[in-house]
Amino acid sequence: MPHHSRLSAAVLTATVVLSSLLAGCGDDAGDEDLTRQRLDWKDCPSPSQDQGGGGSPSPLPDGDAWQCATMKTPLDWDRPDGETIDLALIRARASGPDGARIGSLVFNFGGPGGSGVTTLPAFGQDYARLRTRYDLVSFDPRGVGRSAPVRCLSDRRLDAYFQQDATPDDGAERAELLENTREFNAACEQNSGKILPHVRTTDAARDMDLMRQVLGDGRLHYFGISYGTELGAVYAHLFPKNVGRAVFDAVVDPTQTSEQGSLGQAEGFQRALDNYAEDCTSKAEDCPVGDTPQDVKDRIDRLLKDLDSRPIPGIFPRDLTQTAATSGIAQSLYSKDFWEYLTEGLEGAYDGDGRVLMVLSDSLNGRSENGEYSNLTAANTAINCADDKPRYDTAYVQGRLPEFRRASALFGDFLAWGMLGCTDWPVAGAADHPDVRAPGAPPILVIGTTGDPATPYEGARRMADALGEGVGVELTYEGEGHGAYTGESSCVREAVDRYLLDGTVPAGGTVCS
């Protein structure tokens, strides 16, 4: 996945694909008129290809239907009276009695590039308690899904793109990787040039403030996961007085450059792999992929080296390459629930069958069974490159390889070379890292998970500190996976529910295990 400046944190979106594959300023934003628009809520259509395809969302457990609408927002927030684009929204009306309703609770599930319109219904049952007092609302941010989607390469060319060697070993392979990256980025400009300058996180945050007003809420109540924590923090910086009750789960470190973020991910994914290997070999029954934790990792290392020169059959007509296998392993480490698929995938690959690792790789890249891609990769690249100022070249990456390899023997090269993703991007990046200082905002609950591979735990403390005194309230979950609220911890769930439903802020430094 070399176009990413980092591994996408859109695990929840990828989970939706995976389950189906394995089953078979402070001022109000916006122009006066746009704040007065009325949303026309209707039954939801089937998701578009850009959103990931599939059927319309099933009714909620109580029989209520999900409703969808579009909201107009300025293409260019510097010209709020100019051209508009449509943002896709979804909601489930609050299920409790009228007097109990607090307002809307807006979700962003991350990526960047994940469709909130398809992800929220897939996880709707996990938020049933929150729905007793809130309308649950999500959206496709600008550039994503049905909201002025960024489009780059065709499906056929994306298949080839994801098969390429993303960890080059010599000059010819380095030149080819750079050429492929430039081709991808040129295709984005050719197909989506008009939207590319306007997909920064600050633009999406302004959209959310318009959304707050259009939904009729005095304050934005918000639940951000993964990249959604960065979006929520940028919102809090721009509109501190408009923040309501807000929860950040699986927290992006706002103090890091894209390079530091990639290095942190190398450490995080290595830690998750170590934990997987430990877990597999510590069970009473034999671990089918190694006798000791080190043996598990040595065998994976050998597999990837072999695949570099000799791919094995994947999902016809595609082979499982070293790059696809690495992506598949990374995808399986986002959640402890996927570890069994990693074991299954490795067992298959050792026997010359790459299908399961290929399914995992496809889900990370937003590819559905019919060979169509969502626009996850295109949007992820466009948003990261519009946000992140640094641009890296091959000589720079080569110089950084030793440190990345020290962080992770398995993922170091993969994530280091991924830093080329914004090379020759047509739009300049906004900053080294986002500004999230939010003096005057109410308490924001910041949840870090100790075994999180994609947004390593250390970032939660840095986010809480960066938001400012009296704003960031840190809660630690001692466990595995990317995101704690939908995981195994009733302690985390109860703390979040008490805060969002009753306004009770947990004590800073609370630890759940």
CA distance 41 to 439: 36
CA distance 222 to 248: 8
Selecting among 104, 413, 482, 489, the annotated active-site residue is 482
Instruction: Read off the tokens for 70.
Output: 């579009």
Please confirm, yes or no, whether 274 is among the known catalytic residues.
Answer: no
Selecting among 209, 253, 362, 452, the annotated active-site residue is 452
CA distance 106 to 307: 43
Instruction: Read off the tokens for 154.
Output: 């065709």
- Structure letter (DSSP) for residue 244: E
Write the DSSP assignment of 328-380 as a string of letters: HHHHHTS-GGGHHHHHHHHHHHHTT--HHHHHHHHHHHTB-TTS-B-SHHHHH
CA distance 278 to 272: 10
Phi, psi of 112 (to 5 degrees): -65, 150
Please confirm, yes or no, whether 258 is among the known catalytic residues.
Answer: no
Instruction: Read off the tokens for 152.
Output: 């780059």
Please confirm, yes or no, whether 452 is among the known catalytic residues.
Answer: yes
Selecting among 226, 368, 374, 489, the annotated active-site residue is 226
CA distance 188 to 248: 31
Is residue 129 within 8 Å of residue 156, measured between CB atoms?
no
Longest dimension (CA), the chain: 67
Instruction: Read off the tokens for 308.
Output: 């570099």
Instruction: Read off the tokens for 321.
Output: 């390459």
- Structure letter (DSSP) for residue 195: T
Active-site annotation, residues:
226, 452, 482
